[in-house]
């Protein structure tokens, strides 16, 4: 593990239908023209999901601006506390903590798996491989069992946390993307602007909730995690996390992760941010991305602008600086 501290407050105006991850920066090491090419590539092909998934963002939508949205809901400032090694070949689709252990779901056909990780070393301590015709997706813990979604098969699987032994499963309608537990319910995403809430006992659907920001549907809801009463969602494709009020579906804040992994350091255009794990015992937040070589531990800084369902608000430091790098 390498430790360093920095503070970042970004501009996360890219979580909407007509939005884009910001990658062009004078501080990037790539030539400007190459950055433009890679930006277009990220928007058009970054959602290939191993050359299979269809992007929800069209090229012209990636080029659209969202300046009218700035200044209303602030980005959530954070501090990078630590960085840990991560398997750069892992196509991360889900990340979750349970009783001090870190678990990961990886995707791609013929490569999908469920893993128990050693956070400090990045080593895979245990692994359960999925059938070659399944594409692993979101991961969470519900009722002392690991729940792993798959993409298009309509199947979800249950495992014991200790041995990663499959104990059963259930069917889901439509695609499976992200998963989290919320008040004894399983919440899943499917890449649209909708969250589905399932009963934890028999997994029948209780309700659907559309996620919006300033009246606009927020599409691309991917990996999910419940943090202090909010549902966090990676927005695909891109490097933003939306903080969602699960009662109303409103986005009440953004976490901009565009500075964690420079575009020049990414091995593939699909290597966007994906994977959120919250250790409720310590209050630590961990994030990573598809094919990323690192997992980052973040400390979220409080802001008075957050909604009332967030207790113990405090003002973020005035001297919060830039992120360690700039670019996606």
Report the CATH number that the domain containing residue 293 is assigned in CATH.
Answer: 2.40.128.630
Give percent of the chain above pLDDT 70: 70
- In this prediction, residue 130 carries a pLDDT of 96
In a domain, residue 312? The reply is no
> In the chain, how many domains are there?
1
- In this prediction, residue 303 carries a pLDDT of 65
287 vs 328: which has the higher pLDDT: 287
SS3 content of the chain, % helix, strand, coil (to 5): 10, 40, 50
In a domain, residue 197? The reply is yes
pLDDT in tens, 238-248: 899 999 999 99
In a domain, residue 306? The reply is no
Kindly report the pTM of this predicted structure: 0.75
pLDDT in tens, 302-325: 765 444 444 343 333 333 332 222
Closest CA to 12 of 66, 58, 57, 80: 66
Q: Does the structure show a pLDDT above 90 at 235?
A: yes
SS3 251: strand
Q: How far apart are CA 148 and CA 230, in angstroms?
A: 21
How many alpha carbons lie under 13 Å from residue 223 in its C-beta half-sphere? 32
- In this prediction, residue 74 carries a pLDDT of 60
- In this prediction, residue 12 carries a pLDDT of 56
Range scoring the smallest mean pLDDT among 13-22, 122-131, 166-175: 13-22
Range of the domain at 153: 2-300
SS3 81: strand
> Which band of pLDDT confidence, cut at 50, 70 and 90, is reported for residue 176?
very high
Q: Does the structure show a pLDDT above 60 at 67?
A: no
176 vs 320: which has the higher pLDDT: 176
In a domain, residue 232? The reply is yes
65's CB contacts (< 8 A; 6+ apart) are none
In a domain, residue 166? The reply is yes
In a domain, residue 319? The reply is no
Give percent of the chain above pLDDT 90: 60
Instruction: Find the distance separating the first CA and the last CA of the chain, reported in whole Å.
Output: 22
């Amino acid at each position: 593990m390498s430790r360093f501290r920095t503070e970042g407050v970004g501009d996360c105006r890219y979580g909407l239908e007509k939005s884009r991850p910001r990658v062009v920066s004078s501080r990037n090491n790539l030539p400007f023209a190459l950055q433009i090419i890679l930006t277009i590539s990220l928007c058009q092909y970054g959602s290939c999901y191993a050359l299979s998934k269809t992007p929800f963002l069209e090229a012209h939508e990636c080029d659209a601006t969202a300046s009218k949205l700035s200044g209303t809901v602030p980005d959530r400032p954070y501090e990078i506390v630590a960085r840990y090694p991560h398997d750069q070949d892992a196509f991360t689709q889900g990340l979750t903590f349970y009783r001090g252990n870190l678990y990961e779901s990886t995707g791609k056909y013929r490569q999908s798996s469920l893993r128990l990780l050693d956070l400090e070393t990045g080593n895979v301590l245990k692994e359960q491989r999925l059938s070659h015709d399944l594409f692993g997706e979101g991961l969470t813990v519900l009722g002392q069992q690991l729940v792993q979604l798959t993409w298009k098969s309509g199947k979800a699987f249950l495992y014991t946390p200790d041995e990663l032994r499959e104990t059963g499963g259930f069917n889901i309608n439509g695609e499976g993307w992200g998963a989290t537990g919320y008040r004894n319910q399983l919440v899943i995403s499917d890449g649209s602007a909708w969250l589905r809430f399932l009963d934890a006992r028999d997994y029948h659907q209780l309700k659907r909730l559309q996620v919006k920001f300033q009246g606009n549907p927020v599409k691309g809801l991917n990996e999910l995690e419940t943090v202090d009463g909010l549902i966090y969602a990676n927005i695909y494709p891109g490097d933003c996390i939306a903080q969602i009020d699960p009662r109303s579906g409103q986005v009440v804040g953004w976490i901009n992760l565009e500075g964690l992994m420079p575009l020049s350091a990414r091995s593939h255009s699909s290597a966007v941010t994906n994977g959120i794990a919250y250790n409720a015992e310590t209050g630590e937040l961990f994030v990573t991305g598809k094919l990323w070589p690192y997992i980052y531990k973040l400390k979220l800084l409080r802001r008075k602008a957050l909604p009332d369902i967030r207790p113990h608000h405090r003002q973020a430091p005035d001297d919060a600086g830039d992120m360690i790098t700039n670019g996606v």
